[in-house]
Amino acid sequence: MKNKQLITIGLFALFTSTTMIAQNKSYLDKTKPTEERIDLLMKQMTLEEKVGQMNQYNGFWEVTGPAPKGGNAELKYKHLRDGWVGSMLSVRGVKEVRSVQKIAVEETRLGIPLIIGFDVIHGYKTLSPIPLAEAASWDMEAIKKSAQVAADEASAVGINWTFGPNVDVANDARWGRVMEGAGEDPYLGSKIATARVTGFQGDTKADLLKVNTIAACAKHFAAYGLAEAGLEYNTVDISNSKLYNTVLPPFKAAVDAGIRTFMNSFNILNGVPATGNSFLQREILKGKWKFDGFVVSDWASVREMIPHGFAKDGAEATQKAVTAGSDMDMESYLYVAELAKLVKEGKVKEAMVDDAVRRILRVKFELGLFDDPYKYCDEAREKSEVGSKANNDGVLDMAKKSIVLLKNAPSPFGRAGEGLLPLKKSGQKIALIGALANDKNSPLGSWRIASDDNTAVSVLEGMQQYKDNQLTYEKGADLTVGKTAFIDELVFNTTDKSGFDAAQKVAASADVVVMVLGEHGFQTGEGRSRTSLDLPGVQQELLEAIYKVNPNIVLVLNNGRPLALPWAAEHIPAIVEAWQLGTQTGNAVAQVLYGDYNPSGKLPMSFPRNVGQCPIYYNHYSTGRPVNAEKNVFWSHYTDVEKTPQFPFGFGLSYTTFEYKNCKVNKSAFAKGESVKISVDVTNTGNYDGKEVAQLYIQDVAASLARPVKELKGFELINLKKGETKTVSFTLTDKELGFFDNDGKYLVEPGTFKIMVGGSSDKGLESSFELQ
């Protein structure tokens, strides 16, 4: 009898335990609404487990190997097994991700899956052009498809969250991170932000459940792109007008596109580090914009509030970051160390922790991780998708669309009036010169941490596909002379000119010289600010040496930022801005040089005449003395160089020519709220079919706050066959005609508006209208 009672009690206990487990796991019931599932889960979470969701660690051991022993890695491993880690970054590959996810799901008390983050900036392994280059395409559909390729490969290796897009507006080429943004203009930047977000995530929130999409992250919130002197991590000190009208629009566009995460920035704004900035994160982002995703700090930026002088120690940094709305701590180790204690001491309200955790869990549910934690862990898909032909075709298409033709002077080898480009496909002796022409690594660009070294198609390899010309290659001079102990830190101060003679010899006997010069891919990116924007090393001397023996030069630029090229702009007949175009660089460049693709790119950043002009941008404000009206020295100018850029924003040539005529506004006066209709006829007047980006700029002539001399407010990418004319139409509404005041209030004011329509920001057809 006693044994029967014991068995009965045991069975009851087992049943009760099983029932409790089933009840406890009710948040796994996919038929329930997401918010209810979050509620059910959070009711069971301890304070420490909540804080754990706010903690992100970098990959700290080879997951498929033995558990780490000793030191910080062992502590992190314990936190992972205790459920005190909500996300990991830089864990990649199906086997690695599955192993770490298995610990989180199968060995912790509540089995909350990890979100796996990675810097998928312009591709995973198959690389598109750097983002600044993609922006030069002005092709939103192509940029969206490029992000889709990146998401496809990243998701196939287990990643479900990218730390991109970078939507920082940046107008100072000295800052190395201009390469990962969309340039100097908030309107173009907003359109590109939308394209990249929808490329990564899909068009709707439901698309996040698909296996080939990943959560996107808008960064860096906010104003990081306007760091003083272009110096990395530096102070930002701007007006509220600049913040609301220039910095914030691309971030708002990302929110409107449904982005699920934000990353704050390293800089201070109004004396407050962005990571601890309640005005940015709580008032604007989560308040006015009603963003319901989560905010992650940048790498250790919570801890970095201490050297900023904003927090005295880790505890205070944690308190200020959480209070300001930073939901997840990336690699500061402070939330997991300090936050629970701060809550228990009453210094941080648990409601703030709950809000942060709810946001993080929401994104995990939206990704479908609770329903299938291993959905991104398909080895067959990993094998088939990474490096696929379709992905390579996609990045090649993007690369060609990113190239900008900056100059194309007449050539003795072409018909009258035609430029040196495109090259003839047969019967020419071509000298190819420059270390970058035979480089398979640099063209991959910066921020390509998952790619394999030396996997780019070089320009030499691309041009060798055209076999009916005599092609001879000479390096001329090295660009790099060594590598330091630090990852990606190359030494660029080469002074060796020993290759000049051989390069001059092949150039002298060539019909055309193609020189590939510029920056190495690791000369731009994070931590790579420059005080000179000239060609590094002895490349300028090499260019001039070759010019002496053969002036028929096509200069192909490989670079990640605008460069100052006054000598080349004056002397070299053809200049091609080819950026760092990723995996298919050489094929893209060759197809453009030989005319199989007619370049159509337009600059997303102004190119200065020299570094002393920086920052330089088209949408500047007028001074009180903008022109030399009095014919004396007292007006806004430089005494040693023109104040205009060498190549302006929106500029880019084609192998054909375009003519703009008949710019019309549908009437002369409009009521507030009424749409303004503008049209212009664009004709292809040259000898090739081509594409043109018709651009619309406005100027609010007199307003309660001074407005820029011009602002981009519309553009249209059109295809025109030679001789064809198309009418391009633009519509201006209150959304384009207004601006924010210093308190963030949107104003649409009556007055005169000038408009300009053309193929660049520096000139076009002009008209005007009145807003009443």
As a whole number, mean pLDDT of residues 469-478 equals 97
According to the model, what pLDDT value does residue 490 have? 63
As a whole number, mean pLDDT of residues 278-302 equals 98
Q: What is the pLDDT of residues 79-133, one digit of tens each?
A: 999 999 999 999 999 999 999 999 999 999 999 999 999 999 999 999 999 999 9
Show me where the domains of the chain are located.
49-383, 395-613, 658-771
Give the H/E segment covering residue 515: strand 512-518
**Known catalytic residue at 29:** no
For residues 332 and 525, give the distance between their C-alpha atoms in angstroms, rounded to a whole number.
22
SS (H, E, C) 266-329: CCEECCEEHHHCHHHHHHHHHHHCCCCCEEECCCCCCHHHCCCCCCCCHHHHHHHHHHHCCCEE
As a whole number, mean pLDDT of residues 475-490 equals 68
Q: Are 583 and 546 contacting, i.e. CB atoms less than 8 angstroms apart?
A: no
Share of the chain above pLDDT 90, in %: 92
Peptide bond into 422 cis (omega under 30): yes
Q: Which among 358, 490, 431 has a CA at the least distance from the CA of 86?
A: 358
Q: Are 303 and 336 contacting, i.e. CB atoms less than 8 angstroms apart?
A: no
Cα 679 to Cα 34, 306, 756, 763, 767, distances in angstroms: 47, 55, 11, 17, 11
According to the model, what pLDDT value does residue 18 have? 37
- Is pLDDT above 50 for 15? no
As a whole number, mean pLDDT of residues 566-585 equals 98
As a whole number, mean pLDDT of residues 555-580 equals 98
> Which tokens hold the place of 110?
């509540």
- Is pLDDT above 50 for 173? yes
Helical segments of 54-201, H only: 71-82, 94-106, 131-135, 140-156, 186-201
Lowest mean pLDDT among 1-15, 514-528, 719-733: 1-15
For residues 255 and 311, give the distance between their C-alpha atoms in angstroms, rounded to a whole number.
30
Q: Mean pLDDT of all residues in the chain?
A: 94
Q: What is the pLDDT of residues 409-456, one digit of tens each?
A: 986 555 556 799 999 999 999 999 999 999 999 999 999 999 999 999
Cα 355 to Cα 220, 340, 365, 586, distances in angstroms: 21, 15, 15, 49
Fold of 49-383: TIM Barrel (3.20.20)
Per annotation, catalytic residue among 119, 139, 298, 700: 298
CATH numeric code, 395-613: 3.40.50.1700
For residues 89 and 296, give the distance between their C-alpha atoms in angstroms, rounded to a whole number.
12
pLDDT band at residue 11 using 50, 70 and 90 as cut-offs: very low
Domain spanning 658-771, CATH architecture: Sandwich (2.60)
Q: What is the pLDDT of residues 655-700, one digit of tens each?
A: 999 999 999 999 999 999 999 999 999 999 999 999 999 999 999 9
For residues 105 and 79, give the distance between their C-alpha atoms in angstroms, rounded to a whole number.
14
pLDDT band at residue 493 using 50, 70 and 90 as cut-offs: low
- Is pLDDT above 50 for 6? no
- Is pLDDT above 80 for 8? no
As a whole number, mean pLDDT of residues 163-177 equals 98
Q: How far is CA 335 from the centre of its chain?
A: 28
Q: What is the pLDDT of residues 36-76, one digit of tens each?
A: 999 999 999 999 999 999 999 999 888 888 888 888 899 99
According to the model, what pLDDT value does residue 534 have? 97
pLDDT band at residue 5 using 50, 70 and 90 as cut-offs: very low
According to the model, what pLDDT value does residue 1 have? 43
According to the model, what pLDDT value does residue 71 have? 85
According to the model, what pLDDT value does residue 450 have? 95
Q: Give the count of alpha carbons within 13 A of 433, CB side only.
A: 32
Query: What's the CA angle centered on 29, arms 28 and 33, to 5 degrees?
Result: 105
According to the model, what pLDDT value does residue 359 have? 98
As a whole number, mean pLDDT of residues 212-218 equals 98
According to the model, what pLDDT value does residue 270 have? 95
According to the model, what pLDDT value does residue 410 have? 81
pLDDT band at residue 4 using 50, 70 and 90 as cut-offs: very low
pLDDT band at residue 13 using 50, 70 and 90 as cut-offs: very low
For residues 160 and 200, give the distance between their C-alpha atoms in angstroms, rounded to a whole number.
10
- Is pLDDT above 70 for 9? no
